[in-house]
Structure 1
Amino acid sequence: MTFAQPQWLWLLALVPILALVRWWRARRRGGDLLFSSAALVEAAPATLWIRLRGLPFALRLAVLTLGILALARPQERQVFEKRTVEGRDLMLVLDLSSSMLAQDFSPSRFEVARRTAIQFVQGRRADRIGLVVFAGQAFTQVPPTLDYRFLLTMLQRLQVGRLEDGTAIGTAIATAINRLKNSEARSKVIILLTDGQNNRGEIDPLTAAELARQAGIRIYTIGLSGRGEAPYPVQTPFGTRPQPVPVEIDEAMMREVAEKTGGRYFRATDARTLEAIYAEIDRLEKSPVAVTRYETARERYAIFLGPALLLLLLEVILRTTRLRRLVVT
């Protein structure tokens, strides 16, 4: 064990100094009560509580010592932990095409999809999760990881319009497959969310689904949009104005992609339905996953701070009850 801030340890020198001052003051004072003659009390037996009258001060010195050690931030270096937990490998595949700005969801399809994905990630404990984004092309934003903080940061930074426009569903699936195909987890899942039809890329979605099936990967597809027409923000000489555009989701293709791999197709027409879909997907079969965690330092101040608080409480109780001191004037 090492100390991250060892300069605080110099304060330990106060402990013997305070003990010495206490002893010197007791010797100088000579006693707690003044009598004209000590003959009356010399023969009185010394009870256990009388013998323990210095215990509150000793406890206070112990509290001070433990508190100083906690301030010095004791740390255990090079912590290596390997354990097996219930989990699965997941790839979130999110559509970032311009149609995701449609406002049949409030404030937009994209914002609702991102918010729901963030809530889904926040509920994970042992699943390795990655992120693929796509429009006219697809790329891996985050490989499968247990670093949920980093994944949430990347989800919050997503923006529509940074990729060439289009909807390359097949390419997006193939990109996610490449991230999962070598996984040792028995449960490997792709969650694909889109609001359109495949119109870009060199890989057909059904071909990509067949590759997923051969790799033992299940695909769950989610169609995100309302029905009929949806308001879409269009730039005009008078500012941005919503204009109705038709909803174009290839549900037959999405359903076939999911069923080919043993997954399911869902249609989300509002935010609440989308949340329910993620909750249902969360009930997938889990399988054991080996999780390895390595830390350069683990804080251990609690092993000193905890006992210090308990001793302080004991000192207060004794000083206010059986070992309470009375001042006689």
Structure 2
Amino acid sequence: MIFANIEYLFLLLLLIPYIIWYVMQHRKSEPSLQVSTTRMYMKVPASWKVYLVHAPFFLRIVTFVMITLVLARPQTTDNWQNTEIEGIDIMLAVDVSTSMLAEDLKPNRIEAAKEVAAEFINGRPNDNIGLTIFAGEAFTQCPLTVDHGVLLNLFKNINCEMAQRGLIDDGTAIGMGLANAVSRLKESKAKSKVVILLTDGVNNRGDISPLTAAEIAKQFGIRVYTIGVGTNGTAPYPMPTYAGVQYVQMPVEIDESVLTQIAATTEGNYFRATSNSKLKEVYQEIDKLEKTKLNVKEFSKREEAYHVFALIAFVCILLEIILRNTVLKKIP
């Protein structure tokens, strides 16, 4: 509730001197009937009328407060917003080649990438997001959708087993992965279209080169952020053998030059993630760079709300008149 004429509320300060005056007058008042002693009335129970002596004073105060509130014009407000959301279309292109099982990130590269990307998806409820996975070949795991629950379920199930078992070719087809993501965005009507491509290797498969795919992305106005994931030097890699899993040190080879060129061609950025925390920082940085645009129109409707206060003031005045002319009537 708000007041259209809030300055009238200062009138309530007049109650302070009025209350002081009333208390002082009550103390000075003398009985109209004088008797020599009141000892014989000491044990007489007080009449219920005694408790109503100050009722008119209380009713006058309430009346004054209510009239002041009426003058201040209390109003109820009905606010609502008409929000126009301009979402961003984002395709995640994730490398699922067997090298993503290296454990320089914990528990390994692919699981670390899934965990951080899931947080990124949860933080962008207004965006269309899809998922492309690639190794030696690429395919769409989930097309663009705002149903992030479905996307996260599909995302949770991606792993490197397809490449391990030979269901898809192993290797790193960066160009194919990017081209697949671009094909899902080219028909998009969104003003901002983005591909986030994550890989840990060098392009060694596929019919489309990474830079050719970058040029295609540029033609469709798609910005590409590339992420090279993996520590520097070597990384522990679980190698299955007849004697069980044996860890070997695998050299980390990321074609940073190509990833940088892809990002530069499409006016994106290249990031290097050497640890879980660095990977999280990369996604946080991309999240800052690609913000959803909101156009908010606010409307306000006000209605007068003095009626209740005016009714209370009227009732108080009426009660005071009734009391003064009935049970509290004074005899001259």
Give yes or no for TM over 0.5.
Answer: yes
* Runs of 4 or more above 2 Å deviation: 284-290
> For residues 28-72 of structure 1, what are the alpha-carbon distances to aligned partners after superposition, in whole Å with 9 as ceiling and x for unaligned?
xxxxxxxxxxxxxxxxxxxxxxxxxxxxxxxxxxxxxxxxxxxxx
SS in 2 for 1:125: coil
Alpha-carbon shift at residue 86 of structure 1 (Å): 3.3
Name the residue aligned to 1:278. 283
Name the residue aligned to 1:85. 85
The whole-number CA distance in structure 1 between the counterparts of 2:226 and 2:108 is: 19
SS in 2 for 1:211: helix
1:258 aligns with 2:242: no
CA contact (8 A) 2:136 2:170 kept: yes
The whole-number CA distance in structure 1 between the counterparts of 2:111 and 2:292 is: 32
Name the residue aligned to 1:158. 158
The whole-number CA distance in structure 2 between the counterparts of 1:214 and 1:284 is: 21
Alpha-carbon shift at residue 283 of structure 1 (Å): 1.4
Structure 1 unmatched ranges of 5 or more: 1-81, 291-329
CA contact (8 A) 2:114 2:155 kept: yes
The whole-number CA distance in structure 2 between the counterparts of 1:192 and 1:210 is: 15
Name the residue aligned to 1:117. 117
Alpha-carbon shift at residue 146 of structure 1 (Å): 0.2
CA contact (8 A) 2:127 2:292 kept: no
Q: What code does the residue aligned with 2:84 have?
A: T
Alpha-carbon shift at residue 87 of structure 1 (Å): 1.8
Alpha-carbon shift at residue 185 of structure 1 (Å): 0.8
Alpha-carbon shift at residue 124 of structure 1 (Å): 1.3
Larger radius of gyration: 2
The whole-number CA distance in structure 2 between the counterparts of 1:101 and 1:229 is: 13
Structure 1 stretch displaced more, 185-194 or 118-127: 118-127
> For residues 134-190 of structure 1, what are the alpha-carbon distances to aligned partners after superposition, in whole Å with 9 as ceiling and x for unaligned?
001100111111000000000111121213211110011111111101111111000
How do residues 52-71 of structure 1 correspond to structure 2 at under 5 angstroms?
none
The whole-number CA distance in structure 1 between the counterparts of 2:179 and 2:264 is: 17
SS in 2 for 1:276: helix
The one of 214, 217, 235 equivalent to 1:230 is 235
Structure 1 stretch displaced more, 113-122 or 93-102: 113-122
1:106 aligns with 2:106: yes
The whole-number CA distance in structure 2 between the counterparts of 1:180 and 1:166 is: 25
The whole-number CA distance in structure 2 between the counterparts of 1:215 and 1:166 is: 27
The whole-number CA distance in structure 1 between the counterparts of 2:83 and 2:131 is: 25
Normalization by structure 2: what TM-score? 0.61
Q: 1:190 to 1:289 in 2, by over 3 A?
A: farther
The whole-number CA distance in structure 1 between the counterparts of 2:146 and 2:136 is: 29
CA contact (8 A) 2:125 2:148 kept: no
Q: What code does the residue aligned with 1:116 have?
A: V
SS in 2 for 1:165: coil
Name the residue aligned to 1:39. none
The whole-number CA distance in structure 2 between the counterparts of 1:127 and 1:144 is: 9
Q: 1:289 to 1:173 in 2, by over 3 A?
A: farther
CA contact (8 A) 2:175 2:213 kept: yes
> For residues 70-104 of structure 1, what are the alpha-carbon distances to aligned partners after superposition, in whole Å with 9 as ceiling and x for unaligned?
xxxxxxxxxxxx97313200000000000000011
SS in 1 for 2:132: strand
The whole-number CA distance in structure 1 between the counterparts of 2:223 and 2:211 is: 13
Structure 2 unmatched ranges of 5 or more: 1-81, 163-167, 296-332
SS in 1 for 2:289: coil
Q: What code does the residue aligned with 2:95 have?
A: D
The whole-number CA distance in structure 1 between the counterparts of 2:94 and 2:239 is: 23
Alpha-carbon shift at residue 238 of structure 1 (Å): 2.0
Q: What code does the residue aligned with 2:224 have?
A: I
1:145 aligns with 2:150: no
CA contact (8 A) 2:230 2:275 kept: yes
> For residues 249-288 of structure 1, what are the alpha-carbon distances to aligned partners after superposition, in whole Å with 9 as ceiling and x for unaligned?
0000000000110000000000011111101101124465
CA contact (8 A) 1:88 1:289 kept: no
The whole-number CA distance in structure 2 between the counterparts of 1:115 and 1:242 is: 24
Q: What code does the residue aligned with 1:96 have?
A: V
Name the residue aligned to 1:297. none
The whole-number CA distance in structure 2 between the counterparts of 1:233 and 1:177 is: 33
Q: 1:254 to 1:245 in 2, by over 3 A?
A: same
Q: What code does the residue aligned with 2:279 have?
A: L
Name the residue aligned to 1:195. 200
Name the residue aligned to 1:77. none
CA RMSD, Structure 1 to Structure 2 (Å)? 1.7
The whole-number CA distance in structure 2 between the counterparts of 1:156 and 1:271 is: 17
Normalization by structure 1: what TM-score? 0.61
Aligned residues: 209
Q: 1:131 to 1:289 in 2, by over 3 A?
A: farther
Q: 1:229 to 1:285 in 2, by over 3 A?
A: closer
Q: 1:231 to 1:287 in 2, by over 3 A?
A: closer
